[in-house]
Amino acid sequence: MKKKNLGAKKTIHNFYFKKLDDPRIKRIYLNFKKKISSHALNSFCVAVSGGVDSMALSFLAKCYSLEKNKKVYFFIVDHKLRKNSTFEANLVKKKLKLFQISSNILTIKKINKKRNLQSFARDNRYKLIINRSLTKKIDIILTAHHTDDLIENFFIRLLRGSGLKGLISFSKIKSKVKLGDKIFVLRPLLDMSKKDLIYLSKNTFNFNINDPSNLNDKFLRVKIRKLISNLEKDGLTFNKFKLSLNNLSKSNNAIDYYVQKNINDNSNYLKLINSIILKDDFLKQPDEIVFRSFSELIQKIGKKNTFARGAKVDNLLKYLRSTNNYSKKTLSGCIIQKLKNSVIISSENR
């Protein structure tokens, strides 16, 4: 390597480590390092939107890669939902390069604006990053979700009628994007506040893209954000909220225990024909236990990436519990048939 390149490399290394002299930034970094060091990271990538949160995450990930000599990839998604999205993606790439961060722009080519725009952007962002991660043999995707996102997501799911599992699912630091994926999402900033990330971003890269949709009242998340702001004025704090989430998580773990017990005790898996026979007692458990058990088995036999829709599962369970009709039903790639005191779940593709 040429002397000039070595000098530039040393300068950029000094930039990152010098920033850690700031006590607040150092505290955030040590918290971040503790979170990701507790997970086996063979290789990982950072999802970069260009917002304050993801720019802060990019700084932290770069520091970690320099300290631990780890290879990290940075992926910017051009979602094509705003006319300036391509310009913004290239601007973020250019800014990151100034700080010795090499990144790749992934472009969404098919746009369906009839769908929920934020949901569309999120789903396709993950799809692009997962596909690129598979080619790079990356098994962990770092996202910049933080405390404010956690609270917002809880209220959004609450308003949409989610059950216990849905309400607490986002609180996990590590999870799969889809059930069948071998790639995990890691949220190392989940217990960090937006204010901390703004401070970090401003005092390091001092650059971010502002998304105008964050101020648009037609989006549910923006309405929820304003609701939470008002609740904070009346005393809502993350510590109180986290206590409630922890209690809900304990309840969910108890339910999960009995879900697995119901599956183990009251179902038989026939591997050779990829079918499951449910015993009579399977459907006699409490509703939530039966619902989750049945959903897991449907997903297993149907080999789907996601669970079947809750309303359809509920309707099918009501049918199975209330009828002696032996006609076949289908759901999520499965054929379900009641036979006297048992139920058979088999694959449509058998």
**According to the model, what pLDDT value does residue 253 have?**
93
User: Which pTM was predicted?
Assistant: 0.82
Q: CA-CA distance, 75 to 69, in Å (whole number)? A: 19
**According to the model, what pLDDT value does residue 284 have?**
94
Convert the pLDDT of each residue in 275-321 to its tens digit.
999 999 999 999 999 999 999 999 999 988 778 888 899 999 999 98
**According to the model, what pLDDT value does residue 213 have?**
67
**Which stretches of the chain score pLDDT less than 70?**
1-9, 110-120, 178-181, 212-216, 350
Helix intervals (H) in the chain: 3-19, 23-37, 52-68, 85-98, 117-136, 147-159, 164-169, 194-202, 220-233, 238-266, 287-302, 310-322
Q: Determine if residue 50 is left, alpha or beta; phi over 0 gives left, psi from -120 to 50 gives alpha, anything else beta.
A: left
CB neighbour class for 133 (10 Å; exposed up to 12, middle 13-18, buried from 19): buried
CB neighbour class for 79 (10 Å; exposed up to 12, middle 13-18, buried from 19): buried
What six digits make up the tokens of 11? 């300068």
**According to the model, what pLDDT value does residue 180 have?**
59
Please, what are the domains in the chain?
A: 3-236 (3.40.50.620), 247-347 (no CATH)
